[in-house]
Structure 1
Amino acid sequence: MRRVFVADTLVPGQSLVVDGQTGHHFARVLRLEVGETLVVAGTNGPHDAVAVSVDSKRGTATLEIGGGTPRRDPIVRVLIVQGMAKGDKVDEVIQRTTELGVWGVWITAMERTVGRLTADRASAKVVRWQRIAEEAASQSQRDIVPQVAYYSAAPGLQTVLAEVSPHRVLLLDERETKRGIRQALKSSTSNWRELPGPVVLVVGPEGGFSDAERSWWVDTFRAESVTLGGRILRTETAGLVAATAVFCESGELGG
């Protein structure tokens, strides 16, 4: 079912006008019709809604909010800190991990990042990445749109990451050969539904982590290096595989 995301608390019976880019998409691209039902995901969860009027010229739709619907998002919050990668690889990371159910994707420049972003380019990229996340969240019937952000240096990342109080920080390190991610996750907690903060998965760029970065993550966040097995995965693949392992271990994949 089609889904709209709004930063509002929803109340059954209220009238909600959807405009801007989202309204244009629903009214003129998807051709939403009066009487059609959809889901509106607000700050207090998803709700049923029905279109009561659609203005294709203005690109707006008015919805009447109904009752709440079952939540679909994972209880466990997974945050991916992705080393900035070349080309459209970040787009793929955001799309696939959003579909899977991650809580956030934070892109950061690392020592071996190729092609750093200027401030202007970074702002434009974040807008594009957030739109990709919203489209993927809608397609996969998420309750939230993951937060996408870009950090050009470790100090800025350190401040915001400390604010979310990570439960665990796992460094997906090609040099690690003994401690696997499954072993690390099994020792994580006895109750996945009561984690105080997100599980953070740190993925290096194409060239991997430098020794200084490994030390920084260990010293700053007590990060644990883990392996994903004997294969060397691409940077755009590693986070998706690791997030899948977290959701599998926590029972979020239907187990």
Structure 2
Amino acid sequence: MTTPLPATPAWPPKSAPRLFVPGPLAEGTAVPLEGGQAHYLGKVMRVTAGDAVILCDDETGEWLARVVEAGKRDVVLSVEQRLRPREGVPDFWLCAALTKKAAFDLVLEKATELGVALLQPVLTRRCVADKLNADRARAIMTEAAEQCARTALPGLAEPAPLAALLRDWPAGRRLFFADEAGGVPAATAFAMESGPAALLVGPEGGFDDAERAMIRAHPAAMAITLGPRVLRAETAAIAGTGLWMGTRGDWGAAALEE
């Protein structure tokens, strides 16, 4: 009786660490790492020479690299081969009013995982925050992209006052407005529009009457409802984004039509 050969283990292993690094990457590129990334690989993941690491550069895609040196304070990698090109990103923006830090951190993380192309923080009259630490926000988004195996980082715009956002809104991009006062059911509205899109979600206290009227008067805006329950600001942002991705994004049938 012939003994079957053991299965060849997948390479690179699914457990290989993933990191975004400056690009462009190419075969044979040496990638020296210091600081937090070196600490993560050396102290947390305990890599040694020869171990696999997956690198992305937000330009050329996803690459297999191997550890060449693993010191106490730095790690050197050598890029071996490209595994995937940079992914295509659905043309969807999330325009989310600033909320308390923990809630907005969640929006940053989940919007990245869900596949948004751009996150636009918005300043409204009822916002409890008026500033965003951009470096910290990008770090949260980068870590989320690494965790969910994205090969493209979403953009992060500077916080914009609502009036300025509407004034400078680009032609040809539909603005779905999550309105507590009601509107077209979100899934229906999303299915009606196939072009570039964005979702506008308010802060904890919602939009005031003047803001709501200003948004509804904008030619690109379409008021939508996310259901019969009153959702937290962060829940509305995440739920609305997920629904758009399932209706018009890269989750289902719409993606196959492209």
TM-score category (smaller protein): 0.7 to 0.9
Q: Is the 8 A contact 2:86 2:152 kept in 1?
A: no
| Structure 2 residue aligned with 1:48 | 64
- Report the CA distance between 1:89 and its aligned residue: 0.7
Deviation at 1:245, TM superposition (A): 0.9
Measure the CA separation in 1 of the matches of 2:88 and 2:226: 22
Aligned counterpart, 2:246: 248
What is the Cα deviation at residue 205 of structure 1? 0.3
Name the structure 2 match of 1:200. 198
Q: CA deviation at 1:252?
A: 2.5
Q: Is the 8 A contact 2:17 2:45 kept in 1?
A: no
Q: Which residue of 1 aligns with 2:159?
A: 151
In 2, distance between residues paired with 1:96 and 1:242?
12
- Structure 2 residue aligned with 1:32, among 47, 50, 54? 47
Identity, in percent, stands at 27
- Structure 2 SS opposite 1:33: coil
Distance in 2, matches of 1:251 and 1:222, equals 19
Distance 1:221 1:130, change over 3 A: farther
Distance in 1, Cα, partners of 2:137 & 2:181: 30
What residue ranges of structure 1 are gaps of 5+ in the alignment? Answer: 190-194
Amino acid at match of 2:104: V
Amino acid at match of 1:176: G
Displacement of 1:47 in angstroms is 1.2
The residue number in structure 2 matching 1:68 is 82
Q: Distance in 1 between matches of 2:168 and 2:193?
A: 23
> 1:26: how far off?
2.0
2:176 is aligned to: 170
Q: Structure 1 CA distance, aligned partners of 2:239 and 2:103? A: 15
| Residue aligned with 1:88, SS | helix
- Does residue 1:138 correspond to 2:143, yes or no? no
Which of 99, 102, 118 does residue 85 from structure 1 map onto?
99
Say if 1:158 and 1:11 are closer, same or farther in 2 by CA, change over 3 A: farther
Distance, in Å, in 1 between the alignment partners of 2:31 and 2:68 is: 10
State TM-score, norm by structure 1. 0.82
Report the AA paired with residue 14 of structure 1: T
Shift of residue 149 of structure 1? Answer: 4.0
Mark the runs of 5 or more structure 2 residues left unpaired by the alignment: 1-15, 254-258
1:90 is displaced (CA, Å) by 0.5
Q: 1:129 to 1:184 in 2, by over 3 A?
A: same
Aligned length: 237
Q: Which consecutive aligned stretches of 4+ in structure 1 deviate over 4 angstroms post-superposition?
A: 71-74, 155-161, 218-221
Paired residue secondary structure (2:84): coil
Deviation at 1:254, TM superposition (A): 5.4
Q: Is the 8 A contact 2:94 2:199 kept in 1?
A: yes
Aligned mates of 1:135, 1:166 — CA distance in 2: 32
Contact 1:5 1:144 in 2 (8 A): no
Residue 216 of structure 1: CA displacement?
3.6
Taking the aligned partners of 1:7 and 1:83, their CA distance within structure 2 comes to: 30
Partners of 2:249 and 2:181 in 1: how far apart?
A: 29
Q: Superposition RMSD on alpha carbons, in Å?
A: 2.5
Partner of residue 192, structure 1: none
Give me the whole-angstrom Cα distance separating, in 2, the residues matched to 1:54 and 1:221. 56
Q: Is the 8 A contact 2:173 2:220 kept in 1?
A: no
Secondary structure of 2:43's counterpart equals helix
Residue of structure 2 equivalent to 1:235: 233
Q: CA deviation at 1:145?
A: 2.7
Q: Return the alpha-carbon distance in structure 2 between the equivalents of residues 68 and 239 of structure 1.
A: 34
Cα distance in structure 2, aligned partners of 1:143 and 1:218: 36
Contact 2:64 2:79 (C-alpha < 8 Å) held by counterparts: yes
Determine if contact 1:201/1:243 at 8 Å carries over to the other structure: yes
Q: Quick one: structure 1 residues 115 and 249, their matched pair in 2 at CA, closer, same or farther if it must change by over 3 Å?
A: closer
